[in-house]
Amino acid sequence: MFFLQFISKFIKVMRAGASPAQIAGGFALGALIGFMPFFSLQSAVIFGIIFLLNVNLSAATLAIFVFSFGAFLLDPLFHDLGFYILTGIQALQGLWTKLYNMPVAPLTRFNNTVVMGSCAGGLVLLAPIYFGMKKLVVAYREGLETKIKKWKIVQVITGSKLWQWYERLRDWQW
């Protein structure tokens, strides 16, 4: 129910109310959090950034959900990537050693393979996600919505009883 409400809110945002850059920014930062293990210092910092910057919160929240699931699937890949970054690149050894011995930095758990791998993966994908999302929002507003509504899957979902029940609840005057 919560998730449907969320998608509905997101679709509204996609139509109007926020600029494509705000939506794409929220989505990209949310994706970065989604990739990383949830309870970490850097996640808290990015949360703070999302709240402070004028980016769309619905898009960020949706991205956290979607990319957390993606991160679960990609966990072995992040482990391998993190292990390579932490041990395989000689030029970075000095930096890691310095960070390892600095105050606060160890609290980020940067020396963990999954934390490092997912963080690196998220940062690499940050720009493509931002620009991709921005393009998608513009396209959506320029007519993609009508096309999507004609998709069979969308028609099946919006025609389902669960959706109708949700719409009734949504429009209920409390």
164 binds other proteins (CB under 8 A): no
Return d(Cα 129, Cα 70) in angstroms, integer.
Answer: 14
117 binds other proteins (CB under 8 A): yes
132 binds other proteins (CB under 8 A): no
At its nearest, how many Å lie between other proteins and the CB of residue 28?
A: 17
Task: Rule CB under 8 A: choose which of 62, 114, 129, 137 binds other proteins.
Answer: 114
Return d(Cα 35, Cα 119) in angstroms, integer.
Answer: 7
Return d(Cα 134, Cα 114) in angstroms, integer.
Answer: 29
Task: Rule CB under 8 A: choose which of 4, 9, 77, 109 binds other proteins.
Answer: 109
Asked if residue 75 lies in contact with residue 114, where contact means CB atoms within 8 angstroms, the answer is yes
Q: Reduced to 3 states, what is the DSSP secondary structure of residue 71?
A: helix
CA 78 and chain centroid, separation: 16
- Segment 43-102, which members bind other proteins (CB under 8 A)? 48, 51-54, 72, 75-76, 78-79, 82-83, 86-87, 93, 96-97, 100-102
| Angle at CA of residue 34, ends 131 and 75, nearest 5° | 110
- Binding interface with other proteins (CB under 8 A): 37, 48, 51-54, 72, 75-76, 78-79, 82-83, 86-87, 93, 96-97, 100-104, 106-107, 109, 111-115, 117
